[in-house]
Amino acid sequence: GENVEQHPSTLSVQEGDSAVIKCTYSDSASNYFPWYKQELGKRPQLIIDIRSNVGEKKDQRIAVTLNKTAKHFSLHITETQPEDSAVYFCAASDGSGTYKYIFGTGTRLKVLA
């Protein structure tokens, strides 16, 4: 079946540094790529998304890049803060038009003060 791989599984950075989380997908027909943040004990919440007709999207300290040829996309967080500590999930739409998403296995980000 279709698959989304996410790396690394854990990431520790010093406050103020940048963090990068990478995902690769297998379905070449995927065209929508959301990123979710899940704080401890909370629900996953959308933080940014990108569609396949765009190569990069930014929202303040967060950016996502997409390389359709290589079938990978990345989340970039700059000037990290302690409140960025959470689990981050990437996802890719199922290219068969069923409006399902395939999620990565998550990255636990720790921002050290």
Partner 1 sequence: DADVTQTPRNRITKTGKRIMLECSQTKGHDRMYWYRQDPGLGLRLIYYSFDVKDINKGEISDGYSVSRQAQAKFSLSLESAIPNQTALYFCATSDPRLGSNQPQHFGDGTRLSIL
For the residues of 62-81, what is the DSSP string, one character each?
EEEEEETTTTEEEEEE-S--
Nearest distance from residue 98's CB to partner 1, in Å? 7
- Shortest Å, Cβ 63 to partner 1: 17
Based on the shown chain and the rule CB under 8 A, indicate whether residue 44 belongs to the binding site for partner 1: yes
User: Does residue number 49 form part of the binding site for partner 1 (CB under 8 A)?
Assistant: yes
7 Cβ contact partners less than 8 Å away, ≥ 6 residues apart: 21, 22, 23, 107
Could you give the CA distance from residue 103 to residue 21 in angstroms, rounded to a whole number? 14
Which stretches of the chain bind partner 1, using CB under 8 A?
Answer: 1, 6, 9, 31-32, 34, 36, 42-46, 49, 51, 89, 91, 93, 97-101, 103-106
